[in-house]
Amino acid sequence: MKHTSHFMGLLLLPAGVLVLAFFALPMVKLIVTGASGEEGLAAYWSILTVERHREALIATLLLSALVTLVALIISTIVGVFLVRNRFPGSQILVSLLTFPLAFPGVVIGFLIIMLAGRQGLIGMVSQTLTGSKLVFAYSMTGLFLGYLYFSIPRVILTVMAAAEKLDVSLEEAARSLGASQWRVITDVLLPALKPGLIASGAICFATSVGAFGTAFTLATNIDVLAMTIYTEFTLGANLASAASLSVVLGLITWAALSIARSLSGSNVAAAG
Amino acid sequence: MQRRTYFYAALMLTLVTVGFLVVPVVMSVMAGLTKNFFVGLKSGLTLEWVFRVWELYQDTIWRSMGIALACLAITLIAGVPAAYGLALSKSRWARIFEETLILPVAVPGLAIALALIQTYGGFREFRMSWAFILVGHVLYTLPFMVRSVLAVLSSIPLNEYEEAAASLGANKRRRFFDIVVPNAMPGIMAGSLMVVTLSIGEFNLSWMLHTPLTKTLPVGLADSYASMRLEVASAYTLVFFIMIVPLLIAMQKFGQTGTARKPTQH
Amino acid sequence: MNSTSSQNTRINLRRCAKTFGNTQVLKPVTLDIQAGETVVLLGPSGCGKTTLLRIISGLEAPDHGSAILFNDEDVTSRPIEKRQVGMVFQSYALFPNMTVRQNVGYGLTTGQGDERLTKADRDTRIETMLKMMRIQDLADRSIDQLSGGQRQRVALARAIAPRPKVLLLDEPLTALDATLRDDLRMEINALLRDLGITAIYVTHDQSEAMALGDRIVVMSEGTIEQIGTPEEIYHQPNNMFVATFIGATNALSGHWGHKGFVPRGMEVPVAALRMAAQGGNLMCFRPEDVDLIEDGDQASGALKGIARTIAFVGSCHRVIVELPGNQTVTLESAWCHPPHPGDPVLFKIQENGVLPVWSNEA
């Protein structure tokens, strides 16, 4: 069906206006503002030169990488397990594992407090057992758990989708050739899951880098990039610095997601 | 023998993971319904905290619902035609447009919020109204609507249906409403659920964009986590769960038919 | 079938051409289609037949200077939804969001043409269509519950329900399996005769073209090679392309001497000069246009070869014969005693069997 460009323009107009006026234009303004401080364009280097910023960047990247790694390991095992083993209740487990998918970061922060906060479960259990209260919700460990919390459901879904498409006969062939369980996993299973793992790993990484709500709930003194930006903006009222840092933050998440998209070749969209 | 070991090890890990995700939720729900969480269940169950939340925060609940519905309306009006246009065109410009449209999802909410405040913060009326938050939500959710509808439209021979309808005398308008929209319905439904779910739970943008008079539910939640006793915070979280869980269930149903994309936001 | 016959429409195409980018996929075509006639556009894929059909339908705009006339009215600039054409697509393109009944009735609700139908009129028309295509029982089914053959019937019913000026069919049987295809082909044939509607049918299948067409338009590489009745196309092909595309053709290489055609590796002419349009270095004949010489009688102008492959094809035997000079031909005939591989075969090309085509291909 041939359509005139006039008609196409009409279809794309509302979305186009929205994105142009409320995204493209403000983002350009943000980039310009980032360079409007005393240091000018050099503000964009402050993330490396200013010690506080550099440390926040390193902490953010390390934390996100670690979360990604652990989430991938846990989700791969659990996801493949649930696809391969159907037992009474396994469907419920799948539902329970994927439900937290749309919980906002603030709520997840609160759930971590329930788990490891001052009145949390772990604290109570440790107090009864050892007499001393174990509290780590308000530290990097708590943040790690929080990021893990929102990463696991997403990665599990990707792994399960990929595992369902796996050709079981490949594994049977490997086994018939004498491969051990371990060799089957490393030679057949993981290579087949690889594209999905890379894609969801990148999403997981990008989401962790950009996450704000969880850190915000847990504590204001954990130095991850998102918190640094927030502090610069509200307490320091340093608009240029906040702007340049968020541009860098945006570039990191965008790059991670671009890699994910080019590797998986399709629909991945995430962050927040 | 070895296989059994693997099975039980994996099962254990699965159960631990489920526990990690579910136990805090259960605790939170319990805390919201218990007279004194520190004392425990023996202090008795109560709806007192829920009522307190209703008293203190019901405006945030209504506002979040209102914003979610307004957001849905806008993403439908802007997103469905855009997805249709993108499905029709194979040109390079269309792909660039699609990329730009999706971009707000790839950029942290914090950055978008800062950009919006800088550009439009000067318009006081706008800045002070809930429409300011709505704009952020629309930007963030529009890609999900477009993607969801586009995925469905790209999976059907849309062009042939349209040609057939045209050969039967249907003009553009009729084709859009008789053919395109009904056949895109699974995508529109999945996209709508996602938009509403994401909007209700959106925090990053909302926190930056809100004013004391335009608090949304998650903003209120963060507020209560910081300043209220644990029972109230839990009861408030419970209210949030009650709002969001039906949406999540519906989304899982759609997810099984394979059209929904997974939402994300933290 | 008065209730469904439409006014007969005469279609004239005047220098219709189509250029995509830099390639002219359809060279200027001029074609006159009589009212009520079924014309088949036949050719290999990429020959421009579908493009021509889409130009007639209004789905594609032809190049500047082209003109399409429906009953002398110029419709060139009219979009498809205003042309009143019924179209049947290769993939059926039935609307999955509608039932069979809604699909069939859709064209009655769009207000095309001059007709204004009441709800009752529409229902009657739909019932007639369903009955005619014998799909009443399927009326309230959804499309994904239908088999391929049933879908085809629904597609036909939907296309003719609004009484279009012309019915355009784009390879409507390609997606079906062989037996179903034969049945539906006969049904479509009967339907087109009953309706008396002007129809244009695109196919790459020559047997479909032969069975359905009042006239066949053979196309290749964007041009019309020949227009004619199936008999004309088969017996008097204009050129080598038509001869080889329609039906099986043997092409013997050799040379035309003053007494007739002498195949390579032979000395005696096997076809008299007067029989053919002579020229070039090939002589073509159909596998069935031969007389067998089974009694061993050496007649003048006979060819002798060795049987290589023998296949029984129902009505006759098909034998591949190797001739001197390393040439092979295929013969179809009712042998009393079919040869075995290696047996000698003696045959003569029938007097009218030589096709009037020639080529200088080696």
pLDDT at A195 over 60: yes
Which CATH number is A232's domain given? 1.10.3720.10
What residue ranges define each of the domains in chain C, with the CATH number in brackets?
11-244 (3.40.50.300), 250-355 (2.40.50.140)
pLDDT at B177 (0 to 100): 93
pLDDT at A267 over 60: no
- Chain B contact for C65 (CB, 8 A cutoff): no
pLDDT tens digits, one per residue of C228-246: 999 999 988 888 889 889 8
Chain B environment of A81 (Cβ under 8 Å): 10-11, 13-14
- Chain B contact for A240 (CB, 8 A cutoff): no
Chain C environment of B179 (Cβ under 8 Å): 95, 97
pLDDT bucket at A53, cuts 50 / 70 / 90: confident
- Asked whether the beta carbons of residue A110 and residue B28 sit closer than 8 angstroms, the reply is yes
For A156-165, C69-78, C147-156, which range has the lowest pLDDT when averaged over its residues? A156-165
pLDDT at C3 over 70: no
- Report yes or no on A246 lying in a domain: yes
* Domain region containing A246: 50-264
pLDDT at B86 (0 to 100): 93
Indicate whether B31 and B130 sit together in one domain. no
- Asked whether the beta carbons of residue C60 and residue A2 sit closer than 8 angstroms, the reply is yes
Contact present, A44 and A247 (Cβ < 8 Å): yes
- Contact map slice: A 252-271 vs B, CB within 8 A: 253-254, 257-258, 267, 269-271
* Domain region containing B71: 57-254
pLDDT at B61 (0 to 100): 93
- Report yes or no on B263 lying in a domain: no
Q: Please name the residue ranges forming H helices in B89-203.
A: 92-106, 109-120, 124-128, 130-154, 158-167, 172-175, 181-201
Q: How far is B121 from chain C (nearest CA, A)?
A: 46
Indicate whether B113 and B2 sit together in one domain. no
Chain B environment of C89 (Cβ under 8 Å): 160, 163-164
Mutation choice for A interface testing from B4, B75, B107 by most A CBs within 10 A: B107
Phi/psi class of residue B245: alpha, beta or left (left: φ > 0; alpha: ψ in -120 to 50)?
A: alpha
- Contact map slice: B 131-190 vs C, CB within 8 A: 156-157, 160-161, 163-171, 174, 178-179, 182-183, 185
pLDDT at C113 (0 to 100): 62
- Asked whether the beta carbons of residue B88 and residue A254 sit closer than 8 angstroms, the reply is no
- Report yes or no on A194 lying in a domain: yes
Q: How far is C234 from chain A (nearest CA, A)?
A: 36
Indicate whether B24 and B125 sit together in one domain. no
Q: How far is B27 from chain A (nearest CA, A)?
A: 7
Number of domains within chain B: 2
Contacts 24+ apart (CB under 8 A), C140-143: C140/C99, C140/C100, C140/C101, C141/C99, C141/C100, C142/C96, C142/C99, C142/C100, C143/C94, C143/C95, C143/C96, C143/C98, C143/C99, C143/C100, C143/C103
CA-closest candidate to residue C62, choices C222, C220, C190, C267: C222
Contact present, B174 and B224 (Cβ < 8 Å): no
Indicate whether B135 and B66 sit together in one domain. yes
Q: Is the dihedral of CA B4, B6, B8, B11 positive or negative?
A: negative
Contacts 24+ apart (CB under 8 A), A13-21: A14/B77, A14/B78, A14/B81, A14/B82, A15/B78, A15/B79, A15/B81, A15/B82, A15/B101, A15/B142, A15/B146, A16/B82, A16/B97, A18/B74, A18/B78, A18/B138, A18/B139, A18/B142, A19/B100, A19/B101, A19/B103, A19/B104, A19/B139, A19/B142
pLDDT at C271 over 70: no
- Report yes or no on B173 lying in a domain: yes
Per-chain mean pLDDT for chain C: 87
| Pairing label, strands C250-257, C260-263 | antiparallel
- Report yes or no on B199 lying in a domain: yes
From A22, A110, A233, residue closest to B114, measured CB to CB? A233
pLDDT at C361 over 70: no
Chain B environment of C162 (Cβ under 8 Å): 168-169
- Contact map slice: B 172-201 vs A, CB within 8 A: 172, 197-198, 201
For B8-17, B216-225, B254-263, C10-19, which range has the lowest pLDDT when averaged over its residues? B254-263
Q: How far apart are alpha carbons B223 and C249 in whole angstroms?
A: 88
Q: Is the dihedral of CA C249, C252, C255, C260 positive or negative?
A: negative
Please list, in sequence order, all residues whose beta carbon lies within 8 angstroms of the beta carbon of residue C93, skipping any fewer than 6 positions away. B157, B160, B161, B163, B164, C155
Indicate whether B75 and B24 sit together in one domain. no
- Report yes or no on B131 lying in a domain: yes
Q: Which residue has the higher pLDDT, C164 or A220?
A: C164
For A31-40, C81-90, C221-230, which range has the lowest pLDDT when averaged over its residues? A31-40
- Chain A contact for B21 (CB, 8 A cutoff): yes
Chain B environment of C142 (Cβ under 8 Å): none
Chain C environment of B164 (Cβ under 8 Å): 87, 89, 93-95, 158
Chain A environment of B242 (Cβ under 8 Å): none
Looking at this predicted complex, what is its ipTM?
Answer: 0.86
Residue ranges of chain A whose CB lies within 8 Å of a chain C CB: 1-2
Indicate whether B66 and B21 sit together in one domain. no
pLDDT tens digits, one per residue of A121-141: 888 888 888 888 888 888 889
Q: How far apart are alpha carbons B164 and C87 in whole angstroms?
A: 7
pLDDT at A191 (0 to 100): 86
Q: Which residue has the higher pLDDT, B76 or A270?
A: B76
Residue C48, CB half-sphere, CA atoms under 13 Å: how many?
23
- Report yes or no on A269 lying in a domain: no
- Chain B contact for A226 (CB, 8 A cutoff): yes
- Report yes or no on B108 lying in a domain: yes
Q: How far apart are alpha carbons A272 and B140 in whole angstroms?
A: 8
| Chains in contact with A via at least 3 Cβ–Cβ pairs below 8 Å | B, C
Indicate whether B210 and B84 sit together in one domain. yes
Indicate whether B36 and B71 sit together in one domain. no
For A30-44, C29-43, C221-235, which range has the lowest pLDDT when averaged over its residues? A30-44
- Report yes or no on A110 lying in a domain: yes
Q: Which residue has the tokens 């290579």?
A: A191
B70 is written with which tokens? Answer: 């307004």
Indicate whether B16 and B40 sit together in one domain. yes
pLDDT tens digits, one per residue of C75-98: 999 999 999 999 999 999 999 999
pLDDT at C279 (0 to 100): 62
Q: How far is A1 from chain C (nearest CA, A)?
A: 7
Q: How far is C262 from chain B (nearest CA, A)?
A: 54
- Residue A235's CB is within 10 A of a number of other CB atoms, namely 9
Indicate whether B32 and B105 sit together in one domain. no
Chain A environment of B264 (Cβ under 8 Å): 101, 150, 154, 203, 207, 269-272
- Report yes or no on A204 lying in a domain: yes
Q: Which residue has the higher pLDDT, A38 or C102?
A: C102
pLDDT at B56 (0 to 100): 86
- Asked whether the beta carbons of residue A272 and residue B89 sit closer than 8 angstroms, the reply is no
- Report yes or no on B2 lying in a domain: yes
Indicate whether B188 and B78 sit together in one domain. yes
Indicate whether B120 and B239 sit together in one domain. yes
| Chains in contact with B via at least 3 Cβ–Cβ pairs below 8 Å | A, C
Number of domains within chain A: 1
- The stretch B90-99 carries a mean pLDDT of 87
pLDDT tens digits, one per residue of B19-61: 999 999 998 888 888 888 777 777 888 888 888 888 888 899 9
- Report yes or no on B266 lying in a domain: no
Q: How far is C60 from chain A (nearest CA, A)?
A: 8
- Asked whether the beta carbons of residue A253 and residue B114 sit closer than 8 angstroms, the reply is no
pLDDT tens digits, one per residue of C245-264: 988 888 888 887 777 788 88
